[in-house]
Structure 1
Amino acid sequence: MKTVKLRDAKALLSALIEDAAQGRPTTITRHGVAVAVLTPIEAARKLYPQKAHSFADLLLSFPGGVEFERNASPPRDVDL
């Protein structure tokens, strides 16, 4: 894996992105300490899977088992 200083990474960003697209990750350092990795998207998707759920999916996944009681008292009077 290639290692690049942050200052150099700013200047070489297009080339580093092309490397990542070709499957070659790059470690980015700041003051000699590794702080980030520019990695191919396939590797990132394995680490951080995107699970986009709709609100309907969320409601349907509710396990149930809870009963709610409706308040049977009449609504209050409102003077308009």
Structure 2
Amino acid sequence: MQEVQLKDAKASLSAIVDRAAAGEEIVITRHGRKEAVLISWDEFRRLSTVPSFGKLLMSAPVEAGDIPERHEPPHRSEEF
């Protein structure tokens, strides 16, 4: 991942966009601080369509008997 200062990115935006489109990730810095990342459209789409954890669980190929039954602990008989 290469870092580019904002002033240099503005001066050569077309070349930086070409590099990002080729798959390179470019960090844009301002006054030495990381401010943004330029990535390709394909990489953005891939990252933005990550399913939620719930959807991953629901799509898991789980069959009956794969998950053991839950046993509740015995109830206390002592009175407080």
TM-score, normalization: structure 2?
A: 0.57
Task: Give, in angstroms, the shift of residue 46 of structure 1.
Answer: 2.2
In structure 1, distance between residues paired with 2:20 and 2:36: 13
SS at match of 2:3: strand
In structure 1, distance between residues paired with 2:32 and 2:40: 23
Structure exhibiting the larger radius of gyration computed from Cα positions? 1
Alignment size in residue pairs: 49
RMSD, aligned α-carbons: 1.0
Q: Could you tell me which residue of structure 2 aligns to residue 21 of structure 1?
A: 21
Q: Could you tell me which residue of structure 1 aligns to residue 5 of structure 2?
A: 5
TM-score, normalization: structure 1?
A: 0.57
Aligned residues with identical type, % of pairs: 47
Runs of 4+ displaced beyond 2 Å:
46-49
| Corresponding letter in the other structure for 1:38 | L
How far does the alpha carbon of each residue in 1:54-73 deviate from its partner, in whole angstroms, 9 at most, with x for none?
xxxxxxxxxxxxxxxxxxxx
In structure 2, distance between residues paired with 1:23 and 1:39: 7
